[in-house]
Structure 1
Amino acid sequence: MTTNPDLAALIRTIPDFPKPGILFRDISTLLLDRQGFATAIERMVAAIPGPIDLVAGIEARGFIFAAALAVPLGAGLLLIRKDGKLPGVTVAEEYELEYGRDRIAMHADACVPGARVLLVDDLIATGGTARAALRLLRRTGAAVVQAQFVVDLPDLGGAAALRADGLDVHALVSFPGH
């Protein structure tokens, strides 16, 4: 049972996308609802433990929520992108995909050691990208204080893996299954 049924009701489920057997949780319907989107941001802000220096958003939908959170928190916005998408000097971290590997990156000078960072994405499933982002941030000396997601798919284990990595994880809604 989700703790925010009003927000869960605003997230559309699309069966068999992107392939048969998958229940795609579409946050675009939440974003279209101005009150729902505002409520989501308010509740995410309320769950943050203490001051934050940077909100790190994971490409691409994580940017939406990270930017919206950075404003009321008075924090900077750190972009974590697919490798090769950022200009200048970057640091990168590789991670496993279902069929191969990928890399995410951030600017090498984006985070000073000791900065209090909130890691944000729209959805946590298996956790591969989020765990790579956590490793990347920690490598730069960041104090990652929490990871926040709008949607958690707990059956896929990503949030549990982040917790096993020593990170506080918060999600507004959770949906069973894939």
Structure 2
Amino acid sequence: MSKHAAIESDDRVAERTALAAEQVERLTRWHDDFPTPGVRFADLTPVFADPEGFRAVIDCLAASAPDADLVAGIDARGFLLGAGVATMLGTGVVAVRKGGKLPPPVISREYSLEYGSAALEIPANGVELAGRRVLLLDDVLATGGTLAAAAALFQEAGAEIISAAVVLELEFLNGRAIQGDYPITSIVKL
């Protein structure tokens, strides 16, 4: 159990989420036809570069699983989120890397994106994952392949996914439908 676990009122949760959502909505930059035609890309860089915005996002994401004992940040913006949340919770952080970025042995999983396919990897040894209570973090939940692949990696390693959290969820792409039984927190849903 994290030393930061606490029971909060529904009002406090709503207040925290509203503050973070306001920052995300104010600071996100949108790019049409990037990285491929037909895709609208949400650039969260300004949110992370803004001290107030970044702090509000990290606070909100950390509150989604105060009893996690390991945070997993998905390549690449999830690394920023994971480090911040792990620091708040007093846990370690594991970087879920794109395929080919970690030395072997690795646990690997291929998945589909809204504009192609990719693979994710985590270390197969060196970090004890079996029995760990993991909070998965990513910036955007779109079609859901990335988050589902990351969850499958940790489950294969014997970890328990207790929650997943994202900054922005594109509900019209229905990515939540392919996730596991773990709860998912989204700061902003479009």
Q: For residues 24-63 of structure 1, what are the structure 2 equivalents within 5 Å?
A: 24-48=41-65, 50-63=66-79
Which residue matches 1:106? 122
Structure 1 residue 95, shift from structure 2 partner = 1.8
Q: Does residue 79 in structure 1 map to residue 95 in structure 2? A: yes
Structure 2: 5+ residue runs without aligned partners?
1-16
Structure 1 residue 18, shift from structure 2 partner = 2.7
Which residue matches 2:144? 127
Structure 1 residue 154, shift from structure 2 partner = 0.8
Which residue matches 1:145? 162
Q: TM-score, normalising length from structure 2?
A: 0.82
Structure 1: 5+ residue runs without aligned partners?
none
C-alpha deviations, 1:116-173, integer Å up to 9, x for none? Answer: 00001111100111111111111111011001111111111112321xx212100111
* 1:148–1:171 CA contact under 8 A, matched in 2: yes
C-alpha deviations, 1:47-101, integer Å up to 9, x for none? Answer: 22x4211111111111010111000111111111112211242111122345764
* 2:129–2:154 CA contact under 8 A, matched in 1: no
Question: What RMSD, in angstroms, separates the aligned Cα atoms of the two structures?
Answer: 1.9
* 1:111–1:142 CA contact under 8 A, matched in 2: no
* 1:59–1:79 CA contact under 8 A, matched in 2: yes
Identity of aligned residues (%): 39
SS at match of 2:131: coil
Gap change, CA 1:152 and 1:22, over 3 Å in 2: same
Aligned residues: 171
Which residue matches 2:185? 170
SS at match of 1:87: coil
Structure 1 residue 14, shift from structure 2 partner = 2.1
Q: Give distance in 1, aligned partners of 2:115 and 2:186.
A: 27
Q: Give distance in 2, aligned partners of 1:37 and 1:23.
A: 22
